[in-house]
Structure formats: structure tokens, C-alpha cells
A = this chain, B = another copy of it.
């Protein structure tokens, strides 16, 4: 990452009180697992979160400020293939273009980690999905180049964030702890992830609705 000037940031990644970033039994009907949508209720109550999805209205205040700050200064996004869609294995066709309709809420290049090559998909509104088969460092390099000095958002899911954390490539991690119990699913801080030496919690505030925790690389 010789010319890396932006930071790699995880933002608004919501986990339950019991530590799950997605609920159990993920499926087409429940892409976030059973109960998983409850993790994000707080975000879609905010003005910035609603605007992201083309909706009007919403609450102001701390949660809104946090969400709004998320989108400031981001020039590209990285996500795992399971966040992009439910298709597994080789792409059977070009039909699947993400969960977000024809105008996804990114409006910049999005780099999808996959083992299976696929041509880029240009969407309405500035989002282009690029499929990266060369691994997490290649995706980061391509995203940093595309962001051209701005930050890169590491969107998820949990497994993808874990890979970047293990490699020490994440600069800042904002987690929202939502007041729900999912009872199972995919953990962000899974057993075996380790102590994350070189990272520290630098901010811990509650809006009453959700807890915002900021973990920053210090070492």
C-alpha cells in the first residue's frame, strides 16, 4: 500500500448485546438471519440513514450525526461476497446485481471479494460493482486507488472484517451495539480472532437507543 493516503474504516457495523452481527439461519427471506434486521432499526430511524435509502424524514441527534459522518469522505467500499448476495460458487449468470435495486446507496466504486471472476456491473447513481479474486490486499489496493485519497469503507460482513482485522489493515472500527438479543448467528468478535493488539477503544457513548463504540489502531 505504498501510496495509501486514505484510511480503511468500518462504520455502523451493528452487533447485538450477545455479539452477533447477523442472526441465525440466513436465507433469501432473512438475508441478515432471523432477527438480524433488528440490528439496523436504529440506523433507519435516523435522517441520514433514511436518506441513504431514498426515504425522507427521520430523527436528528447523536445517532444521526454518527451515520452522517459515516458517508463523509468515503470514496470506495469493500464488501464480502455474502454481503453482495446469496449466490454461492461460480456465477451462473449476470442476473444478480446486489440487494439494493438499480440505484444502490453507495454512489462510488464497490469492490466485492469473491473467488469467481465476473465483469464489473455499472449501476444507476454512480455505484459500480467490481469483483476482486486476488484477495483482501488486492481489493484494498484497488479500492484505495479508486478512492483517490478519500477513505475506504469496509462494509462487511463479519467474516470479511475479521480477515482485514487479522491482517492489521483496519484503521478504525465503529461498532453500534444494539439492545437486542439474537441468540445465535455470526459473531464479529469470534473466538480465535485474538486480542487485536494495537487497537484500543477510543470512544464509548450511548444515544439511549444504541451504543457507539469506536476502536482505533493505536500501535
Chain A residues close to B by CB (< 8 Å): 17-19, 35, 175, 177, 179-184, 187, 189, 191-196, 199-201, 204-206, 208-211, 213, 215
Contacts and interface: CB of A to CB of B under 8 A. Distances in A.
A37 to B, nearest CB: 15
A213 B18 contact: no
Contact of A189 (B18, B200, B211): B18
Given A18-B19, A183-B193, A205-B206, 8 more contacts: A17-B215, A18-B189, A18-B193, A177-B211, A179-B213, A181-B196, A206-B206, A206-B211
A204 B199 contact: no
B183 A194 contact: yes
A184 B194 contact: yes
Contacts of A213: 17, 179
A191 B184 contact: yes
Copies, count: 2
A202 B76 CA distance: 38
Question: Which of A18, A193, A210, A213 gathers most chain B CB within 10 Å?
Answer: A18
Given A17-B215, A18-B19, A181 B204 contact: no
23 contacts: A17-B175, A17-B189, A17-B215, A18-B193, A19-B189, A35-B195, A177-B211, A179-B200, A179-B213, A180-B201, A181-B199, A181-B201, A182-B195, A183-B193, A183-B196, A184-B191, A184-B194, A184-B195, A204-B206, A204-B211, A205-B206, A206-B206, A211-B211
A192 B215 CA distance: 28
Contact of A204 (B179, B182, B193, B200): B179
Question: Which of A187, A210, A211 gathers most chain B CB within 10 Å?
Answer: A211
